[in-house]
């Protein structure tokens, strides 16, 4: 990270700053995590995919912007804030893991097809917002890490960095969500969904336990 910050402080061209933002965000966002698991599941169920993709993309852009323009340093300097993120996020991730594990154990049954067309927007939107803003890893990736990189730029280069990061989020979440829509017709078998939910439960539980067992490190 120190090498990346040093590079940013050299104030490269606006285009190079945008490319740096795109590549840095892509490297962080592609890793399997809570947001990605939710977007994938919504895409496979064909339920409010556009809304979920939009919320995740705009949230990444907003949090990255806040980090680049100063909030990242404030969070990194607050031990209490980091601990609140740590335990609150761990609780939420473990709760979500438990729900996914129950779905994997019981199987989707008839609710799989019904959920693909009748999923309510309100609960879907609430789950997406919670998965984004109650997950401390989102803040570490966007506000703190991306904020540290982007803050080294000035003027138009800083705006370009934020735009590049936002483009990476848009491309990734769109590919994940709408790509899953295309694949959904081949992945409707209950055993596939049970395996997906089991994988989601494992990822969420691992992330939650990691937060409980060790402090957040910046």
Give residue 147's domain range.
2-213
Distance CA 168, CA 89 (A): 24
Distance of alpha carbon 69 from the chain centroid: 20
Asked whether residue 9 is assigned to any structural domain, the reply reads: yes
Q: Which two tokens stand for residue 163?
A: 């735009």
Burial group, residue 2, by CB count within 10 angstroms (0-12, 13-18, 19+): exposed
Whole-number average pLDDT of the chain: 76
Asked whether residue 11 is assigned to any structural domain, the reply reads: yes
Asked whether residue 112 is assigned to any structural domain, the reply reads: yes
Q: What pLDDT does residue 69 have?
A: 85
Which residue, among 79, 40, 75, has the nearest Cα to 56 in the 3D structure? 40
Distance CA 173, CA 170 (A): 6
Please report, for the chain, how many H helices and E strands are present, in that order: 12, 0
Average pLDDT value for residue range 3-12 = 43
* More reliable by pLDDT, 194 or 3: 194
Number of domains making up the chain: 1
Asked whether residue 218 is assigned to any structural domain, the reply reads: no
Asked whether residue 51 is assigned to any structural domain, the reply reads: yes
Asked whether residue 183 is assigned to any structural domain, the reply reads: yes
Q: Look up the pTM and report it.
A: 0.66
Q: Which two tokens stand for residue 31?
A: 């890793």
Q: What pLDDT does residue 4 have?
A: 42
Average pLDDT value for residue range 153-172 = 90
Asked whether residue 109 is assigned to any structural domain, the reply reads: yes
Please determine, for residue 42, whether its predicted confidence score (pLDDT) is greater than 80. yes
In the three-class reduction of DSSP (H, G, I as helix; E, B as strand; rest coil), residue 155 is classed as: helix
Listed range (19-23, 115-119, 206-210) with the worst mean pLDDT: 115-119
Q: What pLDDT does residue 62 have?
A: 93
Distance CA 199, CA 36 (A): 12
pLDDT-derived band at 73 (thresholds 50, 70, 90) equals low
Q: What pLDDT does residue 32 have?
A: 56
pLDDT tens, 102-160? 878 886 544 443 344 446 888 889 989 988 888 777 887 788 777 777 777 778 888 99
Average pLDDT value for residue range 81-98 = 74
Asked whether residue 18 is assigned to any structural domain, the reply reads: yes
Average pLDDT value for residue range 186-210 = 75
């Amino acid at each position: 990270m120190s090498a990346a910050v040093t590079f940013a402080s050299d104030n490269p061209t606006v285009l190079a700053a945008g490319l740096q933002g795109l590549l840095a965000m892509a490297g962080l966002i592609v890793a399997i995590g809570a947001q990605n698991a939710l977007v994938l599941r919504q895409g496979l169920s064909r339920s409010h995919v556009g809304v979920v993709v939009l919320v995740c993309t705009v949230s990444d852009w907003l949090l990255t912007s806040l980090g680049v323009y100063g909030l990242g340093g404030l969070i990194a300097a607050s031990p209490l804030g980091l601990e609140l993120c740590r335990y609150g996020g761990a609780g939420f991730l473990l709760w979500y893991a438990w729900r996914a594990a129950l779905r994997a154990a019981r199987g989707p049954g008839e609710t799989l097809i019904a959920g693909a067309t009748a999923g309510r927007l309100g609960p879907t939107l609430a789950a997406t917002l919670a998965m984004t803003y109650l997950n401390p890893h989102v803040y570490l990736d966007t506000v703190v890490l991306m904020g540290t990189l982007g803050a080294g730029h000035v003027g138009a280069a800083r705006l370009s960095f934020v735009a590049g990061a936002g483009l990476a989020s848009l491309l990734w979440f769109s590919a994940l969500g709408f790509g899953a829509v295309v694949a959904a017709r081949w992945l409707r078998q209950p055993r596939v969904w049970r395996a997906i939910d089991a994988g989601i439960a494992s990822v969420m539980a691992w992330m939650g336990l990691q937060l409980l067992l060790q402090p957040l490190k910046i």
